[in-house]
Amino acid sequence: MTVKDEVREFLITRRAQVRPGQVGLPDGGGDRRVPGLRREEVAMLADVSLDYYTRLERGNIRGASESVLNAIARALLLDDIERAHLFDLARRASAPRVSSRPMRPPGSVRTSVQRVLDSMALPAIVYNAPHDIVGANEAGRALYHIHFDTDARPNIARTTFLDPRARTFYADWGEARRMTAAMLRLEVGRNPLDEELTALIGELSARSPQFRKDWAEHDVHEHRSGVKTFNHPGVGAIEVTYDGWQLPGEKGLSIVTYSAEPGTPDADRLALLPAWAEDRRARTLDAGDPQDVTRAARMEGSTG
């Protein structure tokens, strides 16, 4: 999509999600033909003319001031991530066209970062903008085993949408896939020239009807903190709290850790992951299947 297309679809989908009552307007009963706000209502709430807002919603955002963008964000009840995405789109629309490509983050983490990961008792992974897992400790590889159980570089988005096991691995697969699509949408707004990211979006769009539906929602999400449940085949269902942040000194890389309340069954199951992984490797190596031996080695070694 062009920047104009992205701006248009983002503003239209956000407007459709705001009900008049949420912003102090009468709902109009059965006279409303749209589920959310009308354009003129957004213009009134943002204190801009209807013509000007209509122009913005058609994708003509180039030159829009910060005060106008903030007013639109308030009128549409955008959260901080959605607001940042709107500003990213506005910057892209106003930036001069250049042919250069952004520098790709490394395909693996620094040796010192891997040492830190290995010293952590909690499961931890590091991923880049296209959602390749480029670093992990043993517990992290064990937790995300279906992502590593592949011949390609482990990729969270590809596994989530294309591997049938993901539908049961994630207790709430719907939330997991919508969140993944929304995270990719946010990254596209930040890094529109990222060729690997663009290629991944194209692949998922071609191979997954569900991804096309989730992508069309134009939701954006940043992985910060929350709770999710994995249906792990080795240790059972585990409810964990995840915390994520940008990896210092490595632009484009994020680290996520997974923890559970001490003394709970979930914490006990997390603690069993390394032993499960070791047992799985031993059984796989004893079986002697060359492909499985390769996979076992991948589980044991660095993801870089």
**pLDDT surpassing 50 at residue 296:** no
pLDDT band at 289 (very low <50, low <70, confident <90, very high): low
With beta carbons less than 8 A apart as the criterion, state whether 105 and 128 touch: yes
Instruction: State both tokens at 203.
Output: 């692949």
State how far the Cα of 128 lies from the Cα of 134, in Å rounded to an integer. Answer: 7
Q: For residue 238, which phi and psi values (nearest 5 degrees)? A: -130, 120
Tell me what percent of the residues of the chain surpass a pLDDT of 70: 87
DSSP assigned state of 22? G
The pLDDT tens digits for 158-202 are 999 999 999 999 999 999 999 999 999 999 988 888 888 999 999
Q: What is the 3-state secondary structure (H, E, C) of 146-207?
A: HHHCCCCCCEHHHHHHHCCCHHHHECCHHHHHHHHHHHHHHHHHHCCCCHHHHHHHHHHHHH
With beta carbons less than 8 A apart as the criterion, state whether 245 and 40 touch: no
Residue with tokens 């449940």: 229
**21-25, 191-195, 216-220: range with lowest mean pLDDT:** 191-195
pLDDT band at 304 (very low <50, low <70, confident <90, very high): very low
pTM for the whole thing? 0.82
State how far the Cα of 28 lies from the Cα of 20, in Å rounded to an integer. Answer: 9
All structural domains of the chain = 3-94 (1.10.260.40), 111-300 (3.30.450.180)
Higher pLDDT, 29 or 33: 33
